[in-house]
Amino acid sequence: MIREFFYRSGRRYASKWTVLIIDLGIVSVSFILAYFIRFNLSFNFDVQRLWTQLPIVVSLFLLAFFISGSYKGVVRHTGIKDVYAIFNAVCLASIGAIAVVMVNRYSGFDNEFTIPLSIIIINSLLTFIALAASRYVFKMSYEALMNRNEAPTKNLVIYGAGESGIITYNTLTNHSKMRARVIGFVDNNQQKVGKQINGVKVYDKSVLTREFVKFNNISEVIFSIQTINPKQLRTLVNEIVDLPVKVKIVPPVEDWINGELKISQIKRVQIEDLLDRPPIEIRNSKVEKDFDEKVIMVTGGAGSIGSELVRQICKYNYRTLVVVDQAESALYDLQQELKQAGFFNFVPIVGDIRDKNKMRVLFEEYKPDRIFHAAAYKHVPLMEQNPYEAVKINVAGTKTIVDLAVEYDVEKFVFVSTDKAVNPTNVMGATKRIAEMYISCRQQEGKTKFITTRFGNVLGSNGSVIPLFRKQIEKGGPLTVTHKDITRYFMTIPEASQLVLEAGAMGQGGEIFIFDMGESVKIMDLAKNMIRLSGLHYPDDIDIKITGLRPGEKLYEELLANGENTLPTYHDKIMISKVREIDYGATRSMIDELCISNLFFKDNVVQLMKSIVPEYISNNSDFCKFDKKEPQTDLNKKSEVRFSELNN
């Protein structure tokens, strides 16, 4: 019955006036007890004077409660701030009582209103202790009654006994529906090891063994360290991923909602959290000034990179944002997302960049000052089978937008390229390199400043390896890896978009921007880590299958082509690639021929592409027959050498 009463009443919060009345009652009892304590638990004092002074004391505390607002807190969620408010109220009331004593003493008023100083001090201590204790007792009683006969749903360990770890503990234990029990903290600081925080012991990391986890029935380890970098996090995670626990992480403080950590923000550690480099941050950004009152157009604006570009651009003070994409559903989803986020100054356009008439109408109507060209076909195996479409979009489509940019005097044109354009081994990479070359040709003409950004694989983008592995894990495996030694560079979508925007702001025309992406990642290791982070084991739970290199696929990607080197920029992670000289006239003539020739014959188009890009040597593809005969192993060795030279 009592539990039922608490449950029903607990769904409502107690009235603040009820709390105020109870607090005043506690003040009255404490004042009476103060007299008994002062006079050795006897009645050797003037009881009439006590009753005369009591209303004065209660009135002073009433005023202090109103000023401090201590009675407004939700009692069952009492925390440090609530206790601090009580302390302030007691101090204010005590100062008021002392002021009354001083006024009476020096004004000749009735001495019955004079309260002994010792009584004031004793009353202050009793009142503070009683008010704080009453809230604590009610809070503990409420939680005990609510959780009676209900065992914790899971046992947890918090990795990190610092301030963030303590906040995480409070968030978990104060969440009524969580019913989680924190078994202990784990910390590398030996000064904390062996001590207790809120009655929970702090352990050394060596305690995290399979036996400890099994004995305490631990289901989750939550990392709550704000100062940790990705490399340290990866090392710590690797130490425990083989344990039968879920590994979660607390987000950075700046991502907390209104400065408070919520249960929903504690997420499973993702492979993105384990990149072997710190996240790239642009601190000296010129983007805000560059976008001020400008008309901006984003092609491919509903894609992975394009949509993130749009999200970031929306935060600036531009005049108009035109978003172009042929994917109607994806563009609609982006439109609804932006509207719900409070952004309305943008124009979504369903259109194909190959349609020059439609694009000309857009240029004529909106007259863009900045263009971010992200529209492209990017899937290597599909483009290897469909070179016609690859050329039409990646080359002819880019040529259309570039030509219109020159014709309409667009100030800046930023092209989103790829590391697959470097010494390409597939149709997709070759088309992106040809697009880069055409942009270099047009840089010599007109007022438009053409800027190229070149980066590696983007984590979480459509068709990338991470979402593929996640789907395969959900289905029970196996995970498919094309080669046991294949490596790739990775970056996050926000990083990629940030780089593109910054390149557009700093570029003066003709540059190819690349950036330090850290060490390349071995895809085999990536697959194993994803299996472990899912709480499973390789190969017992999920196996990895080697499928062989796909047509056109490299073992190693590169960021620089042969004959290129770099120049620094004001950001130590962003560099400018110095490209080798090309014959602009001959190159442009061949590209024009490529765009107007009969592209339905695969062999013809690929042969012409190889003429335009001499370093385009097919790998594991039907188009290898058009290359000078060279053993495949030698090609891989050359890629490995170029890869090593880049890292050195």
Which residue among 294, 392, 399, 420 is the active-site one?
420
DSSP label at residue 624: G
Which tokens in the block code for residue 203?
Answer: 């352990």
**CA–CA–CA angle 66, 71, 74 (5° rounding):** 145
Phi, psi values for residue 484, rounded to 5°: -70, -20
Residues 6+ apart with CB under 8 A from 591: 395, 399, 434, 437, 438, 441, 612
Contact criterion met (CB below 8 Å) for 296 and 366: no
Residue 100's Cβ-count burial label (10 Å; 0-12, 13-18, 19+) is buried
Bridge partner residues of 43 (DSSP): none
Other Cβ atoms less than 10 A from the Cβ of 286: the count is 14
The closest alpha carbon to 68, from 118, 127, 121, belongs to 127
Phi, psi values for residue 185, rounded to 5°: -100, 150
Residue 167 CA: distances (Å) to CA of 170, 403, 409: 5, 57, 55
Contact criterion met (CB below 8 Å) for 263 and 286: no
Contact criterion met (CB below 8 Å) for 499 and 515: yes
Bridge partner residues of 545 (DSSP): 480
Residue 431's Cβ-count burial label (10 Å; 0-12, 13-18, 19+) is buried
**CA–CA–CA angle 216, 218, 222 (5° rounding):** 135
Contact criterion met (CB below 8 Å) for 440 and 451: no
Phi, psi values for residue 150, rounded to 5°: -120, 110
Residue 59 CA: distances (Å) to CA of 25, 29, 54, 141, 642: 12, 14, 9, 30, 83
Query: Quick check: is 205 catalytic?
Result: no
* Residues classed as catalytic: 420
